[in-house]
Amino acid sequence: MMETMHHEQMEVDPDDLAVVLEKDPAVVDEEDARKYHTGFHAVCYYRMSHRLWLEGRKDEAREINYYAHHLTGCDIHPGATIGKRFFIDHATGVVIGETTIIGDNVSLYQGVTLGGVSTSKGKRHPTLGNHIVVGCNASILGDITIGDNVRVGAGAVVIRDVPDDCTVVGVPGRIVRHAGIKTGSLDNMHNQLPDPMRDRIRELEAAIEALSAKVEELSKRRGRRPPRIEAIVPSAIPGAARDLPPGRRGSG
């Protein structure tokens, strides 16, 4: 099969071809993509090998995989499951392991590894959702899940699950954006970020109000004037300690 195979024999999925024209500004036209786009060739050969793999024609599938690896520098195991509109740019050095699962609209750049960290036969490669971009030379390792709409920065090494709508960079990969908002910095958008301190303070304020009401009710029952809450816990309410004479100020 190898000696006779030629690009004209490649099975072309029109969705895979369309996405090359959409995502690669360097491509001149459809003919250019068909003839010279190594990433596109890698995807086409993978589709053929995967079909044979599913039909149980594993040796033929591996032969196409072997040929495509030599031709494109991209090694996609025929057992991997890959969705529609799959785009690989430059191809060189891309490795996709046997039990990898990839959703629709995923783009990989050169040098990306979707690899295993175990020698056991089971699911050992990552699962990627839809609408994902993995930057050049990034590695996603192990049976982890990358959510929808995730961007993995160039050179990142991702070893843990990544939720939807995140950008992850670095070694080991850390989330620097969630839903388009930078993490680790308040910038001018602090009202859009989760704020556990603010939430805790609100809970404490509500508890203090409930306790004050209870103290007032008990005092009334005993015919006494209720004490001011600030006099009991001066540090509990912002600004309260300021209003007290020095001898009554709390330490906190």
Ligand X SMILES: CC(C)(COP(=O)(O)OP(=O)(O)OC[C@H]1O[C@@H](n2cnc3c(N)ncnc32)[C@H](O)[C@@H]1OP(=O)(O)O)[C@@H](O)C(=O)NCCC(=O)NCCS
Are 215 and 227 spatial neighbours (Cβ–Cβ below 8 Å)? yes
Least gap, CB of 155 to ligand X (angstroms): 5
Under the binding rule (CB under 6 A), the answer on residue 175 touching ligand X is no
| Segment contacting ligand X by CB under 6 A, of 48-56, 120-128, 147-155, 194-202 | 147-155
| Segment contacting ligand X by CB under 6 A, of 25-33, 66-74, 75-83, 176-184 | 176-184
Spacing of C-alpha 125 from chain mean position:
15
Under the binding rule (CB under 6 A), the answer on residue 37 touching ligand X is no
81, 84, 170, 206: residue in contact with ligand X (rule CB under 6 A): 170
Q: Where are the beta strands (DSSP E) in 16-121?
A: 75-76, 81-82, 87-88, 95-96, 101-102, 106-108, 113-115
Least gap, CB of 26 to ligand X (angstroms): 10
Q: Strand, coil or helix: what is 107? A: strand
CB count within 10 Å of CB 138 equals 25
The structure tokens listed for 155 are: 């050179």
Under the binding rule (CB under 6 A), the answer on residue 114 touching ligand X is no
Residues near 211 by beta carbon (within 8 Å), at least 6 away in sequence: 229
* CA–CA dist 91, 69 (Å, integer): 10
Give the total of residues touching ligand X (CB under 6 A). 14
Point out the residue whose Cβ comes nearest to ligand X.
Answer: 135
Residues near 31 by beta carbon (within 8 Å), at least 6 away in sequence: none
| Segment contacting ligand X by CB under 6 A, of 2-10, 174-182, 187-195, 210-218 | 174-182
73, 97, 153, 173: residue in contact with ligand X (rule CB under 6 A): 153
The structure tokens listed for 15 are: 């969705």
Under the binding rule (CB under 6 A), the answer on residue 109 touching ligand X is yes
Least gap, CB of 107 to ligand X (angstroms): 9
| Residue 147 or 153 with smaller CB distance to ligand X | 153
* CA–CA dist 200, 218 (Å, integer): 27
Under the binding rule (CB under 6 A), the answer on residue 58 touching ligand X is no
Least gap, CB of 165 to ligand X (angstroms): 11
Under the binding rule (CB under 6 A), the answer on residue 155 touching ligand X is yes
Least gap, CB of 180 to ligand X (angstroms): 8
Residues near 140 by beta carbon (within 8 Å), at least 6 away in sequence: 112, 113, 114, 115, 126, 128, 134, 146, 152, 158
Under the binding rule (CB under 6 A), the answer on residue 176 touching ligand X is yes
Under the binding rule (CB under 6 A), the answer on residue 91 touching ligand X is no
Q: Interface with ligand X by CB under 6 A: which residues?
A: 89, 109, 135-136, 151, 153-155, 167, 169-170, 176-177, 182
